[in-house]
Amino acid sequence: METRQHGDHQRHKVAIIGSGNIGTDLMIKVLRNAKHLAMGAMVGIDPQSDGLARAARMGVATTHEGIEGLTRLPGFSEIRIAFDATSAGAHAEHNKILQQHGIQVIDLTPAAIGPYVVPVVNLQEHLASPNINMVTCGGQATIPMVRAVSRVAKVSYAEIVASIASKSAGPGTRANIDEFTETTAKAIVSVGGAAHGKAIIVMNPAEPPLMMRDTVFCLVDGDADEAAIRESVEEMVRAVAAYVPGYRLKQQVQFDRIAKDQAVNVPGLGKVAGLKVSIFLEVEGAAHYLPAYAGNLDIMTSAALAAAEHIAAGYAQPHSVK
């Protein structure tokens, strides 16, 4: 059973599990911006959380009894998609229960039960997957850049450094630091197209808080075409900015030639020469619920919403198949 809103336009009910910063920001995006989705439930475990209180004020069904509470809500049978914005540790149990009810899962934790998905890179390949993983904030920001380089040059090594404001890192983010670096590094390879990958996260305690900055280094073959790389990167930036408006290059793509007699030592690879590509990004949040400096959280919710919108747009309409 679905709900109809705005005339004949059909929207599909979604649940958000996790009433913290990410879950609450995502809820506001669904309510304000979604074309194919409608809020079905906000799920938390803290009855005093601001996210649950805000959801209730906005007329969204809530429960503070976690995944079990969700299954007992009167409208549970209408939920088509569930976003999990809790933790990697909790996600396995959540996914198990949701799969039993045929609900498609979008995982915003680093659990990586399903395939890694970055909307501009590989969403089309995984629209029907029962569970998709949104990698990490650093992954959503930087993997498109690695892919932009790898589609026009052979990337032997890619390293990303995600710098975020300490104030934008909640308990969930802090509890998942190891998973963040491991998940992002794996996705740099499997989604970005690099032969080897490394990820680093920096939490900056500066006051006032600094906006999210990301640096992407790629080592490519020395005969790679610099103009083609720059054009590919700029094209990809525009594609990401279509759903993350605050996503931008801070300066032009930089190139450095590394001669064989000056080869750099890359752990696991040894001495590497060629062309070093440096990409510098800034991600400003939309400030729907979180401050504008929290671009690291905004890019996760924006990517998750973009993925869910595409998934929901592809659902068969009632009576369309006879």
| CATH number of the domain bearing residue 215 | 3.30.360.10
Q: How do residues 43-79 score in pLDDT, each as one tens digit?
A: 999 999 999 999 999 999 999 999 999 999 999 999 9
| Same-domain pairing of 180 and 273 | yes
- Local confidence band at 169 (pLDDT 50, 70, 90 cut-offs): confident
Q: Quote the pLDDT of residue 9.
A: 66
- What average pLDDT score do residues 36-40 get? 98
- What average pLDDT score do residues 149-161 get? 98
Q: How do residues 5-25 score in pLDDT, each as one tens digit?
A: 444 468 999 999 999 989 999
| Same-domain pairing of 141 and 254 | yes
Burial code of 239-248, b = ≥16 C-beta within 10 A, e = fewer?
ebeebbebbe
| CATH number of the domain bearing residue 67 | 3.40.50.720
Residue 13 within a domain: yes
| Same-domain pairing of 238 and 178 | yes
Cis-peptide, bond into residue 208, ω within 30° of zero: yes
Residue 298 within a domain: no
- What average pLDDT score do residues 292-317 get? 92
Whether pLDDT at 174 is above 90: no
| Same-domain pairing of 73 and 157 | no
| Same-domain pairing of 78 and 156 | no
| Same-domain pairing of 56 and 142 | no
| Same-domain pairing of 103 and 143 | no
Whether pLDDT at 97 is above 90: yes
Whether pLDDT at 281 is above 60: yes
Q: Are 79 and 86 in contact (CB under 8 A)?
A: no
Residue 126 within a domain: no
Residue 297 main-chain phi, psi, to 5 deg? -80, -40
Percent of the chain with pLDDT over 90: 86
Domain that holds residue 251: 137-293
As a whole number, the mean pLDDT across the chain is 93
Residue 312 within a domain: no
Whether pLDDT at 319 is above 60: no
Residue 217 within a domain: yes
Active-site residue list: 137
Q: Output the pTM of the full model.
A: 0.92
| Same-domain pairing of 76 and 160 | no
Residue 27 within a domain: yes
| Same-domain pairing of 240 and 189 | yes
| Same-domain pairing of 289 and 205 | yes
The whole-angstrom separation of Cα 306 and Cα 77 is 23
Last residue of a domain, one of 62, 90, 109: 109
Q: How do residues 201-252 score in pLDDT, each as one tens digit?
A: 999 999 999 999 999 999 999 999 999 999 999 999 999 999 999 999 999 9
| Same-domain pairing of 144 and 273 | yes
Find, among 130, 142, 56, the residue nearest to 97 by Cα: 130
Residue 277, both tokens: 């590509």
Which segment of 14-23, 78-87, 311-320 scores lowest on mean pLDDT? Answer: 311-320
Residue 131 within a domain: no
- What average pLDDT score do residues 31-45 get? 97
| Same-domain pairing of 96 and 29 | yes
The domain tally of the chain equals: 2
What stretches of 26-98 adopt beta strand conformation (E)?
37-43, 62-63, 79-84
Residue 224 within a domain: yes
